[in-house]
């Protein structure tokens, strides 16, 4: 196993790695909308938070030497499923066909009170 880290995404806020590379797979930990420079949650609503989450996810994927085109599976966690369409529109701008497999679930709360979190499995 190899630990993947980058300064272009927020450092882990707990006992976990930004990503782990094992064999031909990369497991990217849940990304929340923290600005990697300030360490603060981005201002704005779900659109701004979704963009930052995907930027963070992309930074970790690229740190492993691959691209978003190789993302095989994404899990999306929302605190309000009413945000699904807005999140989906932004999400679609980061990927192209064939799109990753995906799950999207509503949860009661996320770390630091954010509105959205995503993790991913990537083929290397």
CATH at residue 47 = 3.30.1330.40
| Crossing angle of helices 46-63 and 84-92, rounded to 10° | 40
State the alpha helices, DSSP H only, in 7-124: 46-63, 84-92
Which of these is catalytic: 47, 68, 90, 104?
104
DSSP three-state, residue 117: strand
Model-level pTM?
0.97
| 3 state SS of 55 | helix
* Residue 53, domain extent: 2-123
Closest CA to 29 of 53, 1, 49, 47: 53
**CB of 64 closer than 8 Å to CB of 21:** yes
Total of domains in the chain: 1
pLDDT tens track of the chain, all 124 residues? 999 999 999 999 899 999 999 999 999 999 999 999 999 999 999 999 999 999 999 999 999 999 999 999 999 999 999 999 999 999 999 999 999 999 999 999 999 999 999 999 999 9
For the question of residue 104 being annotated catalytic, the response is yes
């Amino acid at each position: 196993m190899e630990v993947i880290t980058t300064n272009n995404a927020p450092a882990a806020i707990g006992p976990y790695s930004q990503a782990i590379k094992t064999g031909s797979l990369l497991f990217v930990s849940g990304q929340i909308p923290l600005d990697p420079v300030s360490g603060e949650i981005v201002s704005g609503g779900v659109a701004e938070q979704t963009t930052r989450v995907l930027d963070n996810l992309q930074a970790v994927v690229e740190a492993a030497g691959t691209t978003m085109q190789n993302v095989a599976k994404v899990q999306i966690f929302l605190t309000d499923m009413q945000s699904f369409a807005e999140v989906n529109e932004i999400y679609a701008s980061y990927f192209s066909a064939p799109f990753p497999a995906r799950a999207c679930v509503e949860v009661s709360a996320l770390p630091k009170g954010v509105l959205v979190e995503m993790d991913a499995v990537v083929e290397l």
